[in-house]
Chain A
Amino acid sequence: MKAFLILEDGHVFTGTGFGSDREIISEIVFNTSMTGYLEVLTDPSYAGQAVVMTYPLIGNYGICRQDMESLRAWPDGYIVRELSRIPSNFRSEDTIQHFLEEQDIPGIAGIDTRALTKILREKGTMNGMITRREDFVLEDVIAQLKQYTPTGVVRKVTCNEKYVLPGEGYRVALMDFGAKKNIARSLNERGCEVTVYPAYTSAEEIIASHPDGIMLSNGPGDPKECVEIIQELKKLYATEIPIFAICLGHQLMALANGCDTHKMKYGHRGGNHPVKDLMTGRTYISSQNHGYVVDTRQLDPAVAVPAFVNVNDGTNEGLSYVGKNIFTVQFHPEACPGPQDSSYLFDRFLEMMKQ
C-alpha cells in the first residue's frame, strides 16, 4: 500500500503504509535508539508527535507486551526504513505490524529515514502528514500543516484517577504527566509505596496525604501550556517534602521558579546523550526524549543551581534547588529504552526522603 509523508517544507517521501490507514498530521521528530521501539511507541511523551526511527531495521524482536511503558501506543504516526518480515525473540507475542494495526497508528516504511533526519536536523522539527491519498494537493497540505499545533497533550495522557502501587517503604506521590511505567517500577523496586495522581490533582490533596516524597514525571508537549500545574507546583515547592522530577516535571518545576523554557531546534531523543553530574564531575550516558529545554540564563542562583549539563551542546540537564530537598533532571534515569547508568538517582531520591 503506497503511502506518503509530506513535510511542512514541501518534501514528499513515498513509502509503503502499514498499521492504520488513517491520515494524520503531527509534529515529526526523530529518535536514534537502536533498540527499544516498543518502549518508544508506548512512551506517553510522544503524544502529539510522529516518530522517525533512525535505526533502519525495526520489529526484529517482535512485541513483548511486558515491555510497554504505558497501556497503549501514543505517537500519531510511525516512520521507519524497514520492518522485519518476521519477529524473532523468545518473548515475542506479536508482530509490530499487527500491534500498530491494533493500536490504530498509521505508519510508513521504505523511506530514506537518514535523508529525513537530516532535513529535521537542518531545518528543525516540523509538522508532517502521513497519508495514503495519492491525489493530495501539495500546496493545500502545506497550508494545513503550517496551521497545525498540538495542544492539551498532558490532559490526554495522564491517568483519570489516582491509584496505589503498594510497597513497604517510603510513600511517594507520583504526579502522572504522562509517566513511563518504569518510574513507578524503579521506586517500587526500592520498596516505595507509589500513589499515582492525575496531572491536575491539587497540591492541597497531595500535601494532605503526607507523602515522604513527591515524584514529578515525564510527559509530552510544551511545558508552558501547563499553567495550572505550574501553579500547584509552586505550592509543593513551598513545603518541605522532598521532590524528584524527570523531564517535563523538571521543566515545570523550573517554570514554577522563574525560569524560562524554550523549544529546541530538533530536541534530544535517543539513548546516547552524555550528561555530566556537576556534583561529582562524572559523565553518564542517558536516555532522553525532550523537545523543550530549561533556559538557565534567568536562573536565580539563590533558587537553584545547575546539577547536570549536556556534554554535547551544553544545555541544562538538571537542577538542584538551593535550601530545598528538590532535585530535577531533564533526562530519563528510568531508561526503558536506553542506558540504566543514571538509575542511581532513584537511590539519591530515597536518601533525600531519609533526611
Chain B
Amino acid sequence: MPKDNRIKKVLVIGSGPIVIGQAAEFDYAGTQACRSLKDEGVEVVLVNSNPATIMTDKRIADAVYIEPLTVPVLEQIIRKEKPDSILPTLGGQAGLNLGMELAESGFLEAHGCRLIGTTPETIKRAEDRLAFKLAMEKIHEPVAASLVVENVEDGIAFSNRIGYPVVLRPAYTLGGSGGGIAHNEEQLIEILSNGLRLSRVGQVLVERCIAGWKEIEYEVMRDSIGNVITVCNMENIDPVGVHTGDSIVVAPSQTLGDKEYQMLRTAALNIITELKITGGCNVQFALHPESFEYCVIEVNPRVSRSSALASKATGYPIAKVAAKIALGYTLDEIPNAITGKTFASFEPMLDYCVVKFPRLPFDKFIQAKRTLTTQMKATGEVMAICSNFEGGLMKAIRSLEQHVDSLIYEDYSTKTVEEIVEMLKRVDDRRIFVIAEAIRKKIPYEVIHDITKIDVWFIDKIAILVEMEQALASKPLTRELLAEAKRIEFPDCVIARLTGRSEKEIRTLREDWGITAAFKMVDTCAAEFAATTPYYYSVFDGEDEAKETSGKLYFEPLTPEDVENIVRLEKPDGAVVQFGGQTAIKLTEALMKMGVPILGTSAADVDAAEDRELFDKILEQCCIPRPAGHTVFTCQEALDAAHQLGYPVLVRPSYVLGGQGMQIAINDDDITQFIGIINRIAQEHPILVDKYLQGKEIEVDAVCDGEDILIPGIMEHIERAGIHSGDSISVYPAQSITPKVKRVLVEYTRRLARALHVKGLINIQFIVANEEVYVIEVNPRSSRTVPYISKVTGIPIVDLAAEVIIGKTIRELGYEPGLQRESDYIAIKMPVFSFEKLRGADIALGPEMKSTGECLGIAKTFNEALYKAFLGAGIQLPKHRKMIITVKDADKVEIVDIARRFEAIGYEIYSTRGTARYLNEHGVHAMRVNKLEQDSPNLLDLILGHQIDLVIDTPNQGALKSHDGFVIRRNAIETGVNVLTSTDTAAALITSLENRDEHFTLVDIATIEPVPHASV
C-alpha cells in the first residue's frame, strides 16, 4: 500500500529529560524517525523539552520546540503549527500518554489532527491493565493471575486468595516505578500504597509471582494491512524478578529450542495482531524453565529501550520502519537499507551473539540500595557483539567503565563457601561476579542455579571464563592458550595480570603468533546477502572483512586495546577526542602511544588542563587566580592541606567525570572519610584539596582556532558554588554579572584557550566572589552545556569546532571572534533527577553530580523561561498549597523572605522547632511539627498524608548531615513530593510560581539565527 497522501505535516513528540527508564534510546529512535519522515517529503514539527538531543537539532525537523511536555503546551503548538498528524510512539511512555490525552479529550479531532502509528484504542488495550487482560483472554494468550486494584484492601484480599509472593505493577508509570514484589502483607501495604499514588490512573496490578521464570522478549512489527514480522528475540540472563532494564540480556535467545522460540514468536505476533498495532512493539514473556507454560508479562506498543537494543543488535532500523508504516507503507514495500536488496518484511538472522549489560549507578549513589527488583535502576547500558557468548560478556564488562575488566571484581577470595552461598541470594549488580567466585570455589552449578534461577547454560559460560583465568594463572602460556583466551575476549591487561607478565609482553607475543583482532559485519542476514552499509565488531576467530571503505562504525569497548585493534586496521591520520566527553579524553595518552596524532587540542595540552601542577603553572603565567589548593595522595597530606587552607575545603580525585567522589569537607573527620572512599579504588592521579569559595558560578563554552576565540554566550548558575554544575539551574545569558566581570571572563577565557593551544572546544567554570573572578575548572573538550548554548544562540559551535580542527579559522567561517551578541531569548537549563527510583540514595545536592537529565525553558523573559524550565522538569505547583521548611542555621536568614513569598501565594508552612521559631519571630506564620523520633503527628506523618507539595530541607555539609534530614528527604521523594536542598533553588522556584502564566510564547528553535557582530 503506498503512502497515505493525507499526511503532510507531522508533530513528533520526544521523550523529554533523561530519567531512569527513559534515556537516550528515544533520541536515537526519534531522530531516525524524523529523518525517515523528512525523506518522504513530510513536514516535521518536533517537540521535546530535552535540549541535549540530536532530534532537537534544526537539521532534523522543520520546526523544533524545546518546550515542556504538557498537554496545554502541546495544544498550543498544535494550534500554531496545525499539523494533520501526531506520531506519539517515539517519545516513550511519556509521549504515548500525551498523545492519548490529546486524543481522548477530543482536542485532536476538533483541530483536524489525528494520531498516526497507533490509535487511542490500541494504547488503551496495551497499557490499561484490565483492557489488556481482556484482550489476552480473547486470543487465549495466558497472563499471570492478576487483579487491578484501586485500593489497598482489595489488594490484600486478592493476595490472600492467590498467595504470596505477589508482584505489584502500577499502571502508566515509567520503568516500572513504584512496583515491586511483596512477600507478606506488610510489604504489600507499603508497595501498593506507594504504587497507587504514582500511577497516573490510580491503579495497580496485583499479580501471581512468576519470579524465577525465564524472561524472554520479542520485538515485533506490524503494518496497516496486517503483515507481521519479528525483528529479534532476547533472553534475560537474570530471570523474571529483575527489571529487563537492569538485566544482563543476550540476543538472540540461547537456551530456547525451536519449539519454545516459535511458540513465543507466534504468541507475540498474535498479540500485535489483536492489538492492531501499526509499527513496532515489544512483548515480554515469562517462560517456565521446565515446561512450555508461559505468561505474557507486558506489551509496549511503541519504540522502547528494548527496540533500540534490538535495532543495534540486528541492524534492523525499527524506528525508521515504524515511521514509514505510520505513513501507510507496508513492510514489503520498505527497502532494507543495509542490504539494499531485501525488504523490511524479513526477519534478521544473527551470526553472532549480543550481550547487553546494565550500567547501574551505585558507584555514584553509594548509599542507594543495590538490590535489583522489578523497578529499574540502571542509568545506562552497554552492548557488545562477539561470535561467542563469553566474548560478548567480557567485552560488555570492560565497556562499563566501572574499573572492572574481567569477572574478577571485588576480592571475594577470602570469603567462605557459606558466605558466597549467602551472597548468591542477594540479587544485586554484583551477582555475576559472585557467581564467578562460586565457580572458583567449586560450588556446583545446581546449587548456583537453585539460588539464582539463572540457566545452567549461562553458568557454564561463566565457568569457561573462570577456567581460563585459572589456566592463565597456572599453565604455560602457549600459543593455543593465548589464542583461546583472546577468542573469549580476555583483554591483554587481564592476561598480563594473570600470567605475571607485562601487557607489552602479551602484545608482542600476540603479534609474533599472529593472534590479532579481525572485524566482522553486522548485516541483518547472516551473510546471506551482500551488505552495503553494515557496521563492525571484532573477533579473534575469523578473517577480516572490514574493507577499505570510509565512514565505518565499529561497535567496540572504549579501552586502549580495543581502540588499538581498530587503529591497526584503519591507520588513521588522526583521532578526535574532544567530542567524546571524559571517556574519549581518557584515551588521549593511549592514542599518542599508538602514534595517532590527536586532532585539535594536543594531548600535552589536554594533560596540562587535567594535571594540577601543570595547570597551576599555566594559571600563574596567565595571571589568573584560582582558589588555593594542593595535590595530595595520603590522608595525612590531605589533613595538612586542609589545615593550611582552612575549612571548608573541596576534596576530589583528578580526571573524573561528573564530579565523582567530590565532597565539601568542614572538618578532619570529613577528610578522613572522603579520602578513604576515594582511595578504595587505586588512584593513578593525585587527589585535589582546594579552598572552597562560596560565590556565583559561571560557565563558558568557547571555540578557539589557536589564535582567536568565539564565545557564544555566558551562563550563570542559580545555585552558588558547591553544587555540581550539572545539577545547577543554569541561565543564559548571565543575569547578574557586571560588564566588568564579563570583560574579565572573556579575557580569562582567551588567555586560557591560547595558553592551552586549544583547537576546538573548551569549557571553563568560574567562581565570581566579590567581583573577583576565579577559575575552578577547565575542560579542553565539548561539555554538557554545548547543545544548550548552540541551540539557544543559533551558533553551531560543534560544526565550528570541527572545521577549526581541520584548519579553518573562526574568521574564515564567517564569525567575528569574541563574545557574541546576546540572543533575544533567555534559556534556562534545569536538572532532572531520578531519585525516586534509587532507594536509599541521598538526594541532597553537592559537588558530585546526581542528575540524570535536563530540560530547557526558553522564552523572551527570565520569569517565563524559569517557569517553563520547572514545568519541563515535572514540577507542577501549586496543588495542595502545603509545604515543609527545615533549614540549617546558616540558611535561616535567607529562608525568611522565601517563606514569606510562599505564604503570600497561599502556602501553609510546617517546620520543626528551630526553623518554626525563627520564621515566626520574623513574621512568617509557620506551624510547628514534631521531628521524626517524636510522637505523631510528626514530619513523616505529614509527608505520608499526601498533602504536601514541597519540602525545602537544606542539609549540613559533610559528616554533620543528620540522619533525620535524610529520612525526611527520602520519604518525601518516594511519596512523590518535590524536595529542594538549596535556598537558591527555592528562591528561583517561588519566583517562577509568582509569575505563573499558563499561556506561553512558543519558540521555534529552527528559526533562531545568530545575532550578527561581536559585542566585545
Q: Is the CB of B265 within 8 A of A273?
A: no
Determine whether the beta carbon of B259 is less than 8 Å from that of A57: no
Is A90 touching B291 in the complex (CB atoms < 8 A)?
yes
Asked if A276 is at the interface of the complex by the 8 Å CB criterion, the answer is yes
Within residues 330 to 364 of chain B, which ones have a CB less than 8 A from any CB in chain A?
330-332, 341-343, 345-353
What chain A residues lie within 8 Å of B331 (beta carbons)? 274, 283
B526 adjacent to chain A (CB < 8 Å): yes
**Inter-chain contacts of A121 with B (CB < 8 A):** 527-530
Contact B527–A272 (Cβ < 8 Å): no
**Residues in chain B near residue A56, CB distance under 8 A:** 351-353, 387-388
Q: Give per-residue flags for A67-89: 1 if the beta carbon is below 8 A from chain B beta carbons, else 0.
A: 10000000000000110111111
| B223, closest chain A residue (CB) | A283
B255 contact set on A, CB distance < 8 A: 60-61, 88-89
Interface pick from A109-117, A164-172, A193-201 = A109-117
For window 518-534 of chain B, which residues contact chain A by CB distance below 8 Å? 520, 525-530
A36:B258 contact, CB within 8 angstroms: yes
- Chain A residues contacting B350 (CB-CB under 8 Å) are 34, 55
CB distance from B377 to the nearest CB of A (A): 29
Chain B residue at smallest Cβ distance from A276: B332
In the bound assembly, the distance between CA atoms of A113 and B252 in angstroms comes to 18
Asked whether A270 and B542 contact (CB < 8 A) given A35-B256, A283-B345, the answer is no
A118-B527, A121-B529 as given contacts; A85 in contact with B387, CB under 8 Å = no
Q: Given known contacts A34-B349, A90-B289, is B259 in contact with A67 (CB within 8 Å)?
A: yes
B290's partner among A87, A90, A118, A339 (CB-CB below 8 A) is A90
Given contacts A86-B456, A283-B331, A338-B262, contact A114 B229 (CB under 8 A): no
Q: A56-B352, A113-B351 known; A86 and B457 CB under 8 Å?
A: yes
Chain B residues contacting A221 (CB-CB under 8 Å) are none
State A196–B570 Cα separation when bound (angstroms). 60
Per-residue 0/1 for B368-410: is the Cβ within 8 Å of any A Cβ (1 yes, 0 no)? 0000000000000000000111000000000000000000000
B543 at the binding interface (Cβ < 8 Å): yes
A55–B526 CB distance below 8 A: yes
Task: Tell me whether A312 and B342 are in contact (CB under 8 A).
Answer: yes
Chain A's interface size range is 35 or more
A148 to chain B, nearest CB (A): 25
Which single member of B252, B456, B542 contacts A34 (CB below 8 Å)? B252
Interface residues of A in 326-355 (CB under 8 A from B): 335-341
Residues on the B chain within 8 Å of A312, using CB: 341-343, 346, 529
A133 at the interface (CB under 8 A from B): no
- Asked whether, in the complex, the Cβ of A271 is within 8 Å of the Cβ of B347, the reply is yes
- Interface presence of A160 (CB below 8 A): no
* Contact assessment for B527 and A114 in the assembled complex, using a CB-CB cutoff below 8 Å: yes
Question: What's the minimum C-beta distance from B828 to chain A, rounded to whole angstroms?
Answer: 50
Min CB distance A304 to B, Å, is 23
Q: Does B986 contact A (CB under 8 A)?
A: no
- Specify the chain A residue showing the minimal Cβ separation from B265: A339
Which chain A residue lies CB-closest to B352?
A: A56
- Closest residue of chain B to A36, judged by CB? B258
Q: B636 to chain A: which residues have CB within 8 Å?
A: none
Interface residue B266 (Cβ < 8 Å from any Cβ of A):
yes
What is the minimal beta-carbon distance from B2 to any residue of chain A, in angstroms?
13
| Contact bitstring B131-146, A, C-beta under 8 A = 1, else 0 | 0000000000000000
Query: With a CB–CB cut-off of 8 A, which chain B residues contact A313?
Result: 341
Partner of B332, one of A32, A118, A311: A311
**CB closest chain-B residue, reference A110:** B541
Across the interface, which residues of A come within 8 angstroms of B464, CB to CB? 85
With A34-B349, A112-B542, A311-B343: A283-B526 Cβ-Cβ less than 8 Å? no
User: Bound complex: CA of A223 vs CA of B530, how far in Å?
Assistant: 29
Which among A34, A56, A270, A276 has the greatest number of chain B C-beta atoms within 10 A?
A: A34
Contact of A39 among B258, B266, B352 (CB under 8 A): B258
Which residues from A are CB-within-8-Å of B262? 35, 335, 337-340
Query: Please, how many angstroms separate the alpha-carbon atoms of A35 and B389 in the complex?
Result: 16
Determine if A218 is an interface residue (Cβ-Cβ < 8 Å): no
The interface residues of chain B lying within 8 Å CB-to-CB of A60 are 254-255, 457
Inter-chain contact total with CB atoms closer than 8 Å: 163
Interface residues of B in 229-274 (CB under 8 A from A): 229-230, 252-259, 261-262, 265-266, 269
Q: How far is the CA of A91 from the CA of B291 in the complex (A)?
A: 8
**0/1 interface trace, chain A 22-62, chain B, CB 8 Å (1 if under):** 00000000101111101100000000000000111100110
In the complex, are the beta carbons of B347 and A283 less than 8 A apart? no
B contact residues, range: 35 or more
A64 interfacial by beta-carbon distance below 8 Å: yes
Q: Is A282 an interface residue (CB 8 A)?
A: yes
In the bound complex, what is the Cα–Cα distance between A311 and B266 (angstroms)? 21
Which residues on B sit within 8 Å (CB–CB) of A323?
none
A336–B345 CB distance below 8 A: no
Chain B interface helix/strand/loop/mixed: loop
Contacts of B259 in A (CB 8 A): 67
A35 touching B388 in the complex, CB below 8 Å, given contacts A112-B541, A341-B269: no
Q: Is B701 an interface residue (CB 8 A)?
A: no
Q: A32-B528, A272-B349, A335-B262 are in contact. Are A57 and B388 (CB under 8 A)?
A: yes
CB contacts (< 8 Å) of B543 on chain A: these are 112, 115
* B68 → A minimal CB distance (Å): 42
Chain A residue nearest in CB terms to B262? A340
**B226 is an interface residue with CB less than 8 A from chain A:** yes
- Assess whether A247 is interfacial by the CB under 8 Å rule: no
Contact with A along B204-245 (1 / 0, CB 8 A): 000000000000000000000111111000000000000000
B556 within 8 A of A: no
Query: Which chain A residues border B457 with CB–CB below 8 Å?
Result: 60-61, 84, 86-88
| CA of A86 to CA of B527, assembled, Å | 27
Q: Mark B500-530, 1 if CB is under 8 A from A, else 0.
A: 0000000000000000000010000111111
B contact residues around A341 at 8 Å (CB): 228, 266, 269
Is B460 an interface residue, CB under 8 A from the partner? yes
Does A64 lie within 8 Å of B527, measured CB to CB?
Answer: no
Q: Which residues of A contact B545 (CB under 8 A)?
A: 114-115, 118
Report the Cα distance A82→B455, complex, angstroms. 19
Q: Which of B258, B265, B332, B351 is most buried by chain A, counting CB atoms within 10 A of its CB?
A: B258
User: Does A301 belong to the interface (CB within 8 Å)?
Assistant: no
B-chain residues with CB within 8 Å of residue A338 when the two chains form the complex: 258, 262
Contacts of A284 in B (CB 8 A): 227
Nearest CB of chain B from residue A16's CB, rounded to whole Å: 12
Among B388, B456, B460, B526, which residue has the most Cβ atoms of chain A within 10 A?
A: B526
Q: A90 to chain B: which residues have CB within 8 Å?
A: 289-291
A110 to B225, CA, bound (A): 44
Question: Do B527 and A282 have beta carbons less than 8 Å apart?
Answer: no
Contact call B343/A274, Cβ cutoff below 8 A = yes
The complex places the Cα of A54 from the Cα of B350 at a distance, in Å, of: 8
Given contacts A32-B349, A340-B262, contact A54 B527 (CB under 8 A): yes
A285-B265 Cα distance, complex, nearest whole Å = 12
B528, A270: Cβ atoms closer than 8 Å: yes
In the complex the two chains form, what is the Cα distance from A56 to B246 in whole Å? Answer: 26
**Nearest Cβ on chain A to B536's Cβ, whole angstroms:** 12
B261, B343, B528, B545 — most chain A CB neighbours (10 Å): B528
Residues of chain B within 8 A of A84, CB atoms compared: 457
Given the known interface contacts A115-B543, A283-B331, A312-B346, the answer about A61 and B353 at a Cβ–Cβ threshold of 8 Å is no
6 chain-A/chain-B pairs, Cβ below 8 angstroms: A35-B257, A35-B262, A61-B256, A85-B464, A121-B527, A121-B530
Interface on A for B, CB 8 Å cutoff? 30, 32-36, 38-39, 54-57, 60-61, 64, 67, 81-82, 84-91, 110, 112-115, 117-118, 121, 270-274, 276, 281-285, 311-313, 335-341
Q: A33-B349, A272-B347 provided; 20 other pairs, C-beta below 8 A?
A: A32-B525, A32-B528, A36-B261, A55-B252, A55-B351, A55-B526, A56-B388, A60-B255, A61-B257, A61-B457, A67-B259, A85-B460, A87-B457, A88-B457, A115-B543, A272-B346, A283-B227, A283-B331, A312-B343, A313-B341
Top 9 nearest A-B pairs (CB, nearest first) are A36-B258, A88-B457, A272-B347, A112-B542, A54-B526, A337-B258, A90-B290, A35-B258, A117-B527
